[in-house]
Homo-oligomer: A and B are copies of this chain.
Amino acid sequence: MATVGDIAVSAFVNILLWFVFLAAFAFMRIQPVNDRVYFPKLYIAAGRKNPRSGEANWVWKHFSLNVGSWLGAFLGWMPAALRMSQADIIRHAGLDSAIYLRIYILGLKIFVPMTFLALLILIPVNIFGGTLFHLTSKIVSSDIDKLSISNVGDQSPRLWVHITMAYLFTIWTCYVLYVEYDNVAFMRLHFLASQSRSVDQFSVVVRNVPSVGGHSISESVENFFRRNHPDHYLSHQAVYNANKFAKLVKKKERLQNWLDYNQLKFERNPERRPTRKIGFLGLWGERVDSISYYEETIDELEKKIASERQRILKDPKAVLPVAFVTFDSRWAAAVCAQTQQSKNPTQWLTERAPEPRDVYWQNLAIPFVSLSIRRLVISLLVFALIFFYMIPIAFVQSLANLEGLEKVAPFLRPVIELKLIKSIIQGYIPGLALKVFLYILPSVLLIMSKMEGYFSLSSLERRAASKYYYFMLVNVFLGSIITGTAFEQLYSFLHQSPTQIPKTIGLAIPMKATFFMSYIMADGWTGIAFEILRLKSLVIYHLKNMFIVKTERDREKAMDPGSFELPETLPTLELYFLLGLVYAVVTPVLLPFILVFFAFAYAVYRHQIINVYNQEYESAGAFWPHVHTRIIGSLLISQVLLFGLLSVKKAPYTTLLIVLPVLTLWFHKYCKGRFEPAFRRYPLEEAMEKDTVEKAAEPNLNLRAYLADAYLHPIFHSFQDEEMGEVRVDKYQTYHSRTSSPARSEISSPSPPHYVYHYDIEP
């Protein structure tokens, strides 16, 4: 167990790093050459120009060595970030961003009064509880423990105070959660009400369209909705199976990149036309002129693409049993989305259509049975991943040891036997396997969520976030408290009585407080400071700039604003709530660390949302019910653990704590009924109001034309309009520009983006 000294060292190191990162950020940020790394959102949203783009002097144009501005920039970004009002943030970065920031504020609202109360009341009670003063030699305990509940003697009447505090903290948390849920629900409804006209308001996605003998999918959809929504049905758009087409387009893009690269090479070095071999990977075969080779191949591919497009549009078999159905009013779309259409509940499944940029097209065609099997398989996989993830890693680690390597690849023996290499492999590779696993985990979880069959990016991200949360709960929270792998924990829990488990964990909780303090400083303080530095984006941007950027448009493409990665940040945040609630009564000195995290992270993410991130979709805060549920869950965990701890300490009246989880669960159920429908369904009152206002304002609106191609597969947008043939694309330029980049149309797109790859591996 760490002593106060250890904590101090850890704090010193972390604060030092924190300073270094912030200083580096301040320095990098004011360099005009980095402007697009630190202010991409302003370029996109506000049409920012590089402040010194007019400068003639090259150095002066790209670098700034003004120490004054540097010092000013050190913390100067903070007031600027905090100054923007919430309404402006919603306008600038969307409601999701604004609601996301409210989570940090929620943390402060919950924990600031708790911290005051705890420091004022609990710490004095604990200090003068007094058992540990005399027992230090007997029990292993640190100075931190003297401030915690461990310092209060068994059966001490002072434990009354802790029980009372648990009640106060629960009531306060529930109160704040209620007010916040109310606020967010109101914000969401207000946002939806004030939103301008968008195609998703009039559209419904219908899945599992049955194939009625003799009719095509399109005819079936047309007939069904004409019959069952005769007064309101407008039209529908089929969804095509464009997987082959998408492959061809990707291939063409890749070749186009190679062509560009070769042309660039030729421009720089006009004496020598670049050549390549036509065999596999350009390794063998006849040597040809690269530029003309690529030009020819692209020409061929374009013909293929055109014919494939024709085939898709004409072949009835390319039409998937899914369609986007549009209605003449928001009211009718809301009605269709919320009602059951067919006598067979597995057919004609309707749902509100996501925004076009939020659609995950690949998952639209999954039939009902397959969907239910996929969910089963994925939940089993997630369970296995959470409890057994150490097994494959240990396997890789065992492979990565020296004997294994020598066996697999005997020709490497001379290299491996070198002392330096040997020590690197032995010391580093095992840790590396774990690091790599944790690094790719969010992507893996996202892929799992995709396999589950959700068809909007926002729901995919929410699902991935929830999986990640469970992983962290078991492997970070429980894993740090109890030694052994998650599987060993599971095994020992299965063999303990249900009343014993909270006792075991509860007893270990106060002893691990120092560990979590270090964790919060490392992950919550320094980690966030590192986030604002954007080191990875910085490096990638400059690499791109060096190798591929030719025009201003390329430079725009090279900007990678990213977004607040919901699947990662949300679970992390929720873990802090868990830590705070669990330790609030047990070891209140942990609370100030959490307060610092929430306050600092709030400023950083506010700054990033204003200046950097560019949202990919707008879900109007659809993640809030998840946040609420997780915090309620944390509250329950904290109550159960406190109960376990106090019953070991034989505190008088411990049974009084049983009331808390019951009340908390009831509160959760109440909130669910009270607020959740606002996040799941679009109220008819609201829809009717907007319809009425619109009809009065624009009586001659041609909705049919407005909705015509709203939900065309994005792949058809990726070419110029003149190529589109019979696929009309009108009025939708805004969405095209958002969806045209293939990297954007798949959120998994692992950074670094593939431009870099292609240009780097050219031999």
Inter-chain contact B674/A345, CB cutoff 8 Å: yes
Q: Quick one: given A496-B497, A675-B345, are A380 and B662 in contact (CB under 8 Å)?
A: yes
Closest residue to A495 on the B side, CB-wise?
B497
Which chain A residues numbered 457 to 506 have a C-beta less than 8 Å away from chain B? Answer: 493-500
Q: Is the CB of B338 within 8 A of A340?
A: yes
Contact bitstring A655-670, B, C-beta under 8 A = 1, else 0:
0000000100010011
**CA gap between A496 and B501 in the complex, in Å:** 11
18 contacting pairs across A/B (C-beta < 8 A): A227-B688, A228-B684, A228-B685, A231-B231, A339-B339, A339-B684, A340-B684, A343-B686, A346-B674, A348-B685, A372-B673, A373-B666, A375-B669, A376-B669, A494-B497, A495-B497, A495-B499, A497-B497
Question: Does A340 contact B681, Cβ atoms closer than 8 Å?
Answer: yes
Q: Which residues does chain B contribute within 8 Å of A229, judged by CB atoms?
A: 684
Whether the Cβ atoms of A669 and B372 lie closer than 8 Å is yes
In chain B, what residue has the closest Cβ to A666? B376
Name 6 extra pairs, CB < 8 A, besides A342-B685, A345-B678, A496-B497: A228-B688, A338-B338, A345-B677, A345-B683, A348-B685, A372-B670
Q: Is A368 interfacial (CB 8 A cutoff)?
A: yes
Tell me the complex Cα distance, A346–B675, Å: 8
Which residue of chain B lies nearest to A679 when distances are taken between CB atoms in the complex? B345
Assuming the A-B contacts A338-B340, A339-B334, A339-B339, are A345 and B673 also in contact, with contact meaning beta carbons closer than 8 angstroms in the complex?
A: yes
| A189, B334: Cα distance in complex, Å | 25
Interface assignment of A335: CB less than 8 Å from any CB of chain B: yes
> Given the complex, which residues of B lie within 8 Å of A368, measured CB to CB?
673-674
List the 9 shortest-distance A-B pairs measured between CB atoms, nearest first. A345-B677, A340-B681, A338-B339, A376-B666, A495-B497, A372-B670, A340-B683, A494-B499, A228-B688
Residues of B within 8 A of A684 (CB): 228-229, 339-341
Chain B residues positioned under 8 Å from A674 (CB to CB):
345-346, 368
Q: Is residue A154 within 8 Å, beta carbon to beta carbon, of the partner chain?
A: no
- A618 in the interface, Cβ–Cβ < 8 Å? no
By a CB distance below 8 angstroms, the chain B residues around A222 are none
Whole-angstrom distance between the Cβ of A67 and the nearest chain B Cβ? 55
Beyond A335-B335, A495-B499, A685-B228, whether A340 also contacts B677 by CB under 8 A is yes
A676 at the interface (CB under 8 A from B): yes
Question: Is there an interface contact between B683 and A343, defined as CB atoms closer than 8 Å?
Answer: yes
A342 and B683: CB pair below 8 A?
Answer: yes
Contact with B along A220-233 (1 / 0, CB 8 A): 00001001110100
User: A368 to chain B: closest CB distance in Å?
Assistant: 7
The residue from B231, B380, B683 contacting A341, defined by CB atoms under 8 A apart: B683
Min Cβ gap A43→B in Å is: 37
Give A731 Cβ to nearest chain B Cβ, in Å: 30
Could you say which of B228, B334, B343, B494 contacts A498, with CB atoms under 8 Å apart?
B494
Q: What 1/0 flags go to A578-613 for Cβ under 8 Å of B? A: 000000000000000000000000000000000000
CA distance A435 to B335 in the complex (A): 53
**Are B339's CB and A681's CB within 8 A?**
yes
CA distance A163 to B145 in the complex (A): 52
Q: Name the distance in Å between A348's Cβ and chain B's nearest Cβ.
A: 8
In whole angstroms, what is the CA distance A666 to B376 when docked? 7
Over the window 226-262 of chain A, the binary record of Cβ atoms lying under 8 Å from chain B Cβ atoms (1 yes, 0 no) is 0111010000000000000000000000000000000
> Which residues in window 387-434 of A have CB below 8 A to B?
none
Q: Cβ of A227: which chain B residues have Cβ within 8 Å of it?
A: 685, 688
Contact check, A685 vs B343: say whether CB atoms are below 8 A apart. yes
A343 CB contacts on chain B under 8 angstroms? 189, 678, 683, 685-686
Q: Report how far A497 CA is from B380 CA in the complex, Å.
A: 23
| Residue of A228, A340, A495, A498 with highest tally of chain B CB at under 10 A | A340
Nearest residue, chain B, Cβ from A383: B662
Docked complex: A175-222 residues within 8 A CB-CB of B: 189
Q: Which residues of B contact A677 (CB under 8 A)?
A: 340, 345
> Is there contact, CB below 8 Å, between A341 and B685?
yes
Q: CA A339 – CA B335 in complex, angstroms?
A: 6
Residues of chain B within 8 A of A373, CB atoms compared: 666
Residues of B within 8 A of A334 (CB): 339
Chain B residues lying within 8 Å of A673, measured Cβ to Cβ, are: 345-346, 368, 372
Which one of A189, A662, A684 has the greatest number of beta carbons of chain B within 10 Å? A684
Contact code string A359-392 (vs B, CB < 8 Å = 1, else 0): 0000000001100110110001000000000000
Chain B residues with CB under 8 A of A670: 369, 372
With a cutoff of 8 Å between Cβ atoms, the chain B residues found around residue A498 in the complex are 493-494, 497-498
Which of A231, A342, A348 has the most chain B CB within a 10 Å cutoff? A342
A500 partner residues in chain B, CB cutoff 8 A: 495, 497
Q: What sequence of 0s and 1s flags, for each residue 666-704 of chain A, a beta carbon within 8 Å of any chain B beta carbon?
A: 100110011111100111111010000000000000000
Whole-angstrom distance from the CB of A594 to the nearest CB of chain B?
A: 31
Q: With A and B bound together, what is the CA distance between A118 and B229 in angstroms?
A: 54
Chain B residues within an 8 Å CB radius of A346: 673-674
Minimum distance in angstroms from A676 CB to a CB of chain B: 7
A685 CB contacts on chain B under 8 angstroms: 224, 227-228, 341-343, 348
| Cα(A373)–Cα(B494), bound, Å | 34
A674 CA / B496 CA spacing, docked (Å): 38
